[in-house]
Amino acid sequence: MANLILQPDWQGRVHDCTPEGVYANRRAFIRQMGLGALGMAAGLTTACEHHAVDPLTTDAVVIPADPLSTISPDAPRVGLPAPRNDTYAAAPRPRTDRLAAASYNNFYEFTAAPRHVWKLTGRYRPFPWTISVEGLVQRPLTLDVEQLIRSMSLEERIYRLRCVETWSMVVPWTGFPLASLLARCNPLSRATHVQFICADRADEMPGIESQPWYAWPYYEALRLDEATNELAFIATGIYGEPLPAQHGAPLRVVLPWKYGFKGPKAVTRLVFTDSQPRTFWNDEVPEEYGFVANVNPGVPHPRWSQELDRPLGEETTYPTQLFNGYAQWVGALYPDEA
């Protein structure tokens, strides 16, 4: 693949928006910028979109040829395409164009600017990769992700994803139930939650250094009854191929009934606990991003409505449904919300 060496056009613009003293109080800074955790909601994009973009003032960037050229050559291509499991079909919506999904991503370890994530993945090497299993387990383990992929029976599921910023998509993931992974971890019976801790590879993920005000690495968590719900999925592929870097290679959590930020990408540690673990966006902006974070059109974000969502690559909006249309599988987990 012929890579272009480009000086990004946003180079240097970070100074327009980054006041002195940011590092002293990054949370107050984020609030003050009105950026919120996940950047800009549809329609709320501001001049400071450039603030959120990585400056990359020191290095030239190796930009991949296109958004679909970011699949690691080292990813195992086993069991693809995987047999489709159609059990969990929410009311049908058009499938998202593959290029549209690969061109607009949230993956802050690369950049907070969704259109630029794929461009910044040129140094990322998601294989080999291990996941350490820690906390309240019979014994700590290290899992090799390639072996894990080869050992699981892979399936394809078409799921909706709803970002808290109001964009959405409908994509075919390849992978296996999160419950199958957790079963291999042998958690102790007193474990109640699992925390996911993501990669902290500053050499490969330029957003880590360019946004030092965040508490890297990204971390998320679930109650174990949520994590073992049959909808909860580990994706190792999308559109019948291994995951491109920007979708979270080598593996990411997919929870179609929760806002997208609850599904961590590039997970490298699983920690079982007996109390509710902390989560990245809840720590950053607690008044905007809760722990449970189920898709719920009746609960507006403090800065925008959650009633509608706009699929990537489309102009139309659709009414957002409670639990993103998956109430029949997860409603019983949330008696107060359902």
Ligand X SMILES: Nc1nc2c(c(=O)[nH]1)N[C@H]1C(S)=C(S)[C@@H](COP(=O)(O)O)O[C@H]1N2
Binding site for ligand X (CB under 6 A): 38, 105-109, 161, 163, 198, 218, 247-248, 260-261, 263-266
Nearest-CB residue to ligand X? 260
For ligand X, give the closer residue by CB, 18 or 211. Answer: 211
**Per-residue interface string for the shown chain with Mo ion, residues 202-241, x marking contact by CB under 5 A:** ----------------------------------------
With CB cut-offs between 5 and 8 Å by kind, which of ligand X, Mo ion, none does residue 270 bind?
none
With CB cut-offs between 5 and 8 Å by kind, which of Mo ion, ligand X, none does residue 105 bind?
ligand X
Fill in the amino acid letter for 170: V
Q: How far apart are the first and last CA of the chain?
A: 49
Per CB under 5 A, the list member of 261, 280, 289, 323 interacting with Mo ion is 261
The answer to whether residues 255 and 262 touch, using CB atoms and an 8 Å cutoff, is: yes
Residue with tokens 């925008």: 304
Per CB under 5 A, the list member of 8, 260, 263, 311 interacting with Mo ion is 260
Give the number of residues in contact with Mo ion, rule: CB under 5 A.
5
User: Is 281 one of the binding residues for Mo ion (CB under 5 A)?
Assistant: no
User: Is 105 one of the binding residues for Mo ion (CB under 5 A)?
Assistant: no
Fill in the amino acid letter for 151: S
- Residues β-bridged to residue 313: none
**In the complex, minimum distance from the CB of residue 37 to Mo ion, in angstroms, rounded to a whole number:** 9
Fill in the amino acid letter for 322: L
Residue 316 burial by CB count (10 A; 0-12/13-18/19+): exposed, middle or buried? exposed
For ligand X, give the closer residue by CB, 157 or 247. Answer: 247
For ligand X, give the closer residue by CB, 18 or 324. Answer: 324
Rg (CA), the chain: 19
User: Is 111 one of the binding residues for Mo ion (CB under 5 A)?
Assistant: no
For Mo ion, give the closer residue by CB, 72 or 282. Answer: 282
Q: How many Cα atoms sit within 13 Å of 194 on the Cβ side?
A: 29
Residue with tokens 């390849």: 174
Per CB under 5 A, the list member of 30, 102, 148, 163 interacting with Mo ion is 163
The answer to whether residues 280 and 218 touch, using CB atoms and an 8 Å cutoff, is: yes
Which helix (H) or strand (E) is 141 found in, with range?
A: strand 141-144
With CB cut-offs between 5 and 8 Å by kind, which of Mo ion, ligand X, none does residue 219 bind?
none
Per DSSP, 331 falls in state: G
**In the complex, minimum distance from the CB of residue 244 to ligand X, in angstroms, rounded to a whole number:** 9
User: Is 114 one of the binding residues for Mo ion (CB under 5 A)?
Assistant: no
Calculate the alpha carbon distances from 136 to 140, 177, 194, 226, 268 in Å: 9, 21, 9, 17, 17
Separation of alpha carbons 312 and 321, rounded Å:
17
User: Is 106 one of the binding residues for Mo ion (CB under 5 A)?
Assistant: yes
Residues that bind Mo ion (CB under 5 A): 38, 106, 163, 260-261
